[in-house]
Amino acid sequence: MHNRIDHFAIGAADLDQGVAALQSALGVTVPRGGKHAAMSTHNCVMQAGGESFLEIIAIDPEAPPPGRVRWFTLDEAGTQARLDQRPRALCWVVGTDDLDSIVARSPVDLGDVVHFSRGDRTWRLTVPKDGSLPEGGLLPAFIEWSPGPHPSSGMRDLGVTLHSVQLLHPDPQWLAGVLKQLAVDHLAEVREGPRAVCFALDTPSGRVTLD
């Protein structure tokens, strides 16, 4: 089984807010990406080193209601209040070549395996029915892309790379144990503290941490 960090998501009240905040923090302008018709969201994306990418995601104001709860807690009042203040680190997503096996053996509920498509690209992603994030985003979502080049290969490389995913939890041993059972403990740093997910990035002007 090959598991790696596929991408990591920064939530924003709207994309312009997210782009402006990351321009200030990282010194680069994250290009527009595309729309997720099934979730009525849209994003901006850029390469983040290797086959991984950074995503700014927001509710698409031009899209009709999706007919279900949106992913990444974007419909939750608490998340919306936090994003109104500033963009926030929401969650990280692990790419795998054996999604069904991970879901079957997971000690926590990762949600349903949902099929998505856009253009000629298809993928499967774990999405809880209620739009929640496992352990508030400290546990990753899992994605399995259809065969072909990773989508990051078509994204802009602006010189920003992911240094580490940093996870804070009141019981770090418990969290580390779950990550080990999911075979992703090598992909994140776990420390004791109030629940938080942070992304440390190397940028042209130095290291920056987004939380």
pLDDT value at residue 135: 95
What spatial distance separates the first Cα and last Cα of the chain, rounded to whole Å? 29
Average per-residue pLDDT for the chain: 95
Residue 115 contacts residue 143 (beta carbons within 8 Å): no
Residue 113 contacts residue 99 (beta carbons within 8 Å): yes
Q: What is the pLDDT of residues 168-181, one digit of tens each?
A: 999 999 999 999 99
Mean pLDDT of 111-133: 91
Give the confidence band of 121 by pLDDT, cuts at 50, 70, 90.
confident
Token pair for residue 80? 């919306």
Residue 37 has pLDDT above 70, yes or no: yes
Residue 1 has pLDDT above 80, yes or no: no
List, in order, residues 6 or more apart from 151 with CB less than 8 Å away.
45, 53, 121, 145
Token pair for residue 118? 């856009």
Percent of the chain with pLDDT over 90: 93
Nearest to 94 by CA among 196, 191, 179: 179
C-alpha–C-alpha distance, residues 16 and 44, integer Å: 10
Least confident of 3-17, 28-42, 116-130, 183-197: 116-130
Reduce the DSSP state of residue 114 to 3 states and report it.
Answer: strand
Mean pLDDT of 166-194: 97
Q: How many CB atoms lie within 10 A of CB 152?
A: 20
User: pTM of the predicted model, to two decimals?
Assistant: 0.95
Q: What is the pLDDT of residues 86-102, one digit of tens each?
A: 999 999 999 999 999 99
pLDDT value at residue 148: 86
Domains and CATH numbers, the chain: 4-149 (3.10.180.10)
Q: How many CB atoms lie within 10 A of CB 158?
A: 18
C-alpha–C-alpha distance, residues 114 and 82, integer Å: 27
